[in-house]
Structure 1
Amino acid sequence: MMMKEDDVVSGDYEAPCESNIDCRTNLVCNKTNVSSYCSCDSHYNYHPSGRKCRGNPGAVCDRLTAECVDNAECRDGACECSNQFVPDENKVCIDPCPVKIQHQARIRYPGNCRRFIDCQHKSKTECPEMTIFNLHTQLCDYPKNVFDCR
């Protein structure tokens, strides 16, 4: 499809749209009398750097469709990062696991000594009360035995 220079319009995502299909994933085509433009759904935030909508873990999700964002799922009416994904500082679900999994398939959940991520099985787990994740043994352990997280 050839675009003319005057086809580009303003909006959250600067591109013309005929339907939601034209608006990339997680965008809505808003038709007005002036022109059509794409904007973010209610449980997405617009990120100008990437010129697209990204998920907002913790945001309210649509209970009827249970739709959230890529790598997020709807739990109790809120979007949460699924599987091994964790929210970054911009509340975008990212994968903290290394591309190639070495001997240690488990990593500590960022900022939480009691939680760990199993990269091999793509899951998150919380250690029982009074224990924290020991990166060296790859198991939940008593804090006195874990020196790299307090």
Structure 2
Amino acid sequence: MGISWVDGSNLIGSDNVQAELILLNCESQYKDNPIDLHFTYNSLIKLYYKESDKKQDALDKCVNYCLKDIALFPKFQKAYIAEYTHRGVTPMIPRIPSFQQLAIIYEKQRKYKQALQICKRALEFGLHDNTKDGFEGRIKKLEKKISQQ
């Protein structure tokens, strides 16, 4: 296979223009492969979030790819479990940063209700954000902010 999302991801920080070109190409290349598409989305999320201070539309693009990845998650989960079970491995779903990243963005934008919905959705899937208090703690913090509005 030619160039992959790994190649694009490895360029983030050193050549963001080339990274973006590769990753956008991978998005169409992997449209029928939820595992590679998920990792492509993660790389685009990382790229656009890093560029959000420099490029005007980067944060909007980051949000867009978070939403795409969240929508893809059920297909990703099914494909990931099938792939690794087929290999004889008991699969553990990797951390899914799109939920956490989008909740952070929404919270910074004072869109507390949207952030709360994202956190609750993550919990519905049994996900954890690898922070001390997890999505549960994030939910409590957001509910407090909503009640203070």
* TM-score, normalised via structure 2 length: 0.29
Q: Which has the higher strand share?
A: 1
Q: Which has the higher helix share?
A: 2
Q: Which has the higher contact order (CA 8 A, sep 6+)?
A: 2
* TM-score, normalised via structure 1 length: 0.29
